[in-house]
Chain A
């Protein structure tokens, strides 16, 4: 038992691929925990960022700068009365949020946070991811149906139509990225490298291909990679029902869309699923087009100095955040009413700084690098989600369909064909 645990430490494979169940379970737990923290952080960040875009402060009362607000909200949701409409289909109503959450969380099995930092490395990783994440729509449709109410029904119908149509464009964009793993091209578009030559659907394989070919797929066969990436990043917003494609839960039209009748814990499951799904599709985008866990310029800027420099990023990021928190604590009003808040913020800053210092220690420094770059890239996409929400009005249903079928689909198809042609010649 103990040997099997320790023996894995020197493995070059993911625990799933190595068949080490103990580590696989540990990874699952770590991802589950990390994801929950990420959703909580995202909740706080979204409210803060959106608030500052909208000339207001956002949560300020619960904890310093509202840091504890998501936790307070989660507690509130947990202790709320559990209401089920009288004419709801009880079993389906109960199952719907579970399906959505399950679909959103299961996708993370194949998300590679590093060359070995994934639960498992499936040879059909990206296919698994698309398949499972699209199961989420089932939960939404059943939620709308089971509520036995008009607004949720319309919301869920919209949602199913929307997700099905955008999955096509999304899938085509993904295929062109997959093609890029095996096609190198010659002439103008030649990347000048000869990789293994065989394509792969494995998430880890796709990132490794980007390393071997010395280019992020977003920039490969310029501008084809960018077009496919663009199509994907539009489709992924629609896929996760976020603004400007948030029709299924269009507040001004359908009150709250498919989750109108949900409250308390069940509703929070939908919330959790939505944010997990956002992180999941952002992970796909990062993996396919932005080199996954690879640090910037892994081939061009090599050597001990560059390695050291890039490995200091995680530590210094945390130190920077800690310094920011400490600075804010110092700027807090000197009044006894703010005493606890100031201490709390200073403590939080100190904790962040401590983590930052810890991440500067050599063995840890190199271990977390991959995870750091992956999370940082995903964070950019998450920020974009908030930005969209602050900027765009909502599409109407027919316009949404038009964008999906008449703009994104042909574009993705053209990019795919062009990629294939350019890659061969």
Chain B
């Protein structure tokens, strides 16, 4: 990205610079306190009128040193911390971490635990997408979908709460399986949720999909080509909206995803509208997986045989899962002690955020907001 660095150097001296119209370019600070940056993201915008000449992201306002904390905690003690990264998809974070450590220990979670994991993770994917949809629509000016999605997301959180007592930072899984057996009526709750939310997804689509203003605001906005995605390491729905059929649940199946019948929704043009459509389709696919999993959930233990003190043999592992926002990877180096020697997280939000500048350059201020929304970032995960 030589062009980017050229631009950044301009940004430093850019104040008072003259364009051919002899007018000053405007540099504005969007965030860290701003209603539409989804947390504490700070974007420095260089504007020519309404046109965006370039952006620079300033991150780190929510940095808590999660990776460093890992080095000072045992494997078990670190487990709740991962929930605090992508706090709207805490279950996925937990799943990735637990499975990474399980691979280090060379143990396998029992089948029943895997089913519970899949159900909860897919529920979490739906809730994450619902939250994304509400806030994204709010950014574009449609205030009503937010309340619809939050109303329905509540049902998922209720299931989480009944299962493990927490709604957001669930800490649902343990290394080797699940801590809790499903509660009485879990299957019934999940099934009735599936029946409840399927028509609701149609309801969201009714408000937006064919809405003329919504289509105009999203079609052709923030286009990211497949090549651009690959160059920047962008994953998740953003990648799939550009036409690349890449989903880790299918490509490198983990848990027991290979047992389920589902599709990877893709779209071709890679604009904001396509990303919206991909995520809407993903919610339906998640429902499909949940329905199958609830039907087939076997009896049996929920915990594998895990030693009391988790002391993985020296070595390293990289395990990645398909989080709602993209590829969530954990790279753990073990030195044989009870604490990781080094733990590195590959957060999808952080990697996807890189694409912001590429996507908005030359477009209008309003598109920056739309693109930040469509990238579906969570600053807790970007900054860690």
Q: Check if B143 is an interface residue, CB within 8 A of chain A.
A: yes
| 11 pairs of residues in contact across A and B, judged by CB atoms under 8 Å | A53-B144, A244-B213, A252-B138, A252-B139, A252-B369, A253-B366, A392-B141, A392-B211, A394-B366, A395-B217, A398-B50
| CB-contact partner of A396 in B28, B139, B151, B366, under 8 A | B366
Q: A394 vs B364: C-alpha distance in the bound complex, in angstroms?
A: 14
**Number of chain A residues close to chain B: CB under 8 A:** 29
Question: Does A395 lie within 8 Å of B216, measured CB to CB?
Answer: yes
Set of chain B residues within 8 Å of A399, measured between Cβ atoms: 213, 216-217
Q: Check if B193 is an interface residue, CB within 8 A of chain A.
A: no
Q: Check if A150 is an interface residue, CB within 8 A of chain B.
A: yes
Given contacts A393-B142, A395-B216, A396-B216, contact A253 B211 (CB under 8 A): no
Q: A246 vs B141: C-alpha distance in the bound complex, in angstroms?
A: 9
CB distance from B199 to the nearest CB of A (A): 15
Q: Check if A250 is an interface residue, CB within 8 A of chain B.
A: yes
Chain B residues engaging chain A, CB cutoff 8 angstroms: 26, 28-29, 34-36, 47, 50, 137-144, 146-148, 151, 207-208, 211, 213-214, 216-217, 364-367, 369
Question: Does B140 lie within 8 Å of A394, measured CB to CB?
Answer: yes
Q: Check if A151 is an interface residue, CB within 8 A of chain B.
A: yes
How many A-B contacts at CB < 8 Å in the complex? 86
Question: Does A394 lie within 8 Å of B213, measured CB to CB?
Answer: yes
Given contacts A154-B365, A397-B364, contact A391 B141 (CB under 8 A): no
Question: Does A252 lie within 8 Å of B147, measured CB to CB?
Answer: no
Nearest B residue to A395 via CB reads: B213
Given contacts A154-B50, A252-B36, contact A54 B143 (CB under 8 A): yes
Q: Check if A336 is an interface residue, CB within 8 A of chain B.
A: no
Q: Is the interface of A mostly helix, strand, loop or mixed?
A: helix
Q: A247 vs B138: C-alpha distance in the bound complex, in angstroms?
A: 14
Question: Does A396 lie within 8 Å of B367, measured CB to CB?
Answer: yes
Given contacts A150-B28, A253-B365, A396-B367, contact A243 B141 (CB under 8 A): yes
Set of chain B residues within 8 Å of A53, measured between Cβ atoms: 144
Q: Mark A192-223, 1 if CB is under 8 A from B, else 0.
A: 00000000000000000000000000000000
Q: A379 vs B88: C-alpha distance in the bound complex, in angstroms?
A: 42
Q: Check if A251 is an interface residue, CB within 8 A of chain B.
A: yes
Question: Does B26 lie within 8 Å of A252, measured CB to CB?
Answer: no
Q: A395-B216, A399-B216 are in contact. List 9 more A-B contacts (CB 8 A).
A: A55-B151, A56-B147, A154-B26, A250-B366, A251-B35, A391-B142, A393-B142, A394-B141, A394-B213
| CB-contact partner of A391 in B35, B47, B207, B366, under 8 A | B207
Question: Does A150 lie within 8 Å of B366, measured CB to CB?
Answer: no
| CB-contact partner of A54 in B147, B364, B367, B369, under 8 A | B147
Among A56, A158, A244, A253, max chain B CB count under 10 A is at A253
CB distance from B49 to the nearest CB of A (A): 8
Q: Mark A33-62, 1 if CB is under 8 A from B, else 0.
A: 000000000000000001001111000000
Set of chain A residues within 8 Å of B148, measured between Cβ atoms: 54-55
Question: Does A393 lie within 8 Å of B364, measured CB to CB?
Answer: no
The 4 closest A-B pairs by CB, nearest first: A394-B141, A252-B36, A54-B147, A393-B142
Question: Does B217 lie within 8 Å of A393, measured CB to CB?
Answer: yes
| CB-contact partner of A393 in B26, B28, B29, B140, under 8 A | B140
Question: Does A392 lie within 8 Å of B147, measured CB to CB?
Answer: no
Question: Does B26 lie within 8 Å of A150, measured CB to CB?
Answer: yes
A46-85 interface with B by 8 A CB criterion = 50, 53-56
Nearest B residue to A158 via CB reads: B50
Question: Does A393 lie within 8 Å of B141, measured CB to CB?
Answer: yes
Q: A56 vs B143: C-alpha distance in the bound complex, in angstroms?
A: 13
Set of chain A residues within 8 Å of B213, measured between Cβ atoms: 244, 392-395, 399
Question: Does B142 lie within 8 Å of A253, measured CB to CB?
Answer: no
Set of chain A residues within 8 Å of B208, measured between Cβ atoms: 393
Question: Does A253 lie within 8 Å of B36, measured CB to CB?
Answer: yes
Q: A220 vs B211: C-alpha distance in the bound complex, in angstroms?
A: 31
Question: Does A393 lie within 8 Å of B367, measured CB to CB?
Answer: no
Set of chain B residues within 8 Å of A151, measured between Cβ atoms: 28
Nearest B residue to A244 via CB reads: B213
Q: A398 vs B213: C-alpha distance in the bound complex, in angstroms?
A: 12
Q: A243 vs B147: C-alpha distance in the bound complex, in angstroms?
A: 17
Q: A250 vs B364: C-alpha distance in the bound complex, in angstroms?
A: 14
CB distance from B176 to the nearest CB of A (A): 41
Set of chain B residues within 8 Å of A251, measured between Cβ atoms: 35-36
Q: A391 vs B35: C-alpha distance in the bound complex, in angstroms?
A: 20
Q: A38 vs B139: C-alpha distance in the bound complex, in angstroms?
A: 30
Q: Mark A230-247, 1 if CB is under 8 A from B, else 0.
A: 000000000000011011
Given contacts A252-B369, A396-B367, contact A244 B147 (CB under 8 A): no
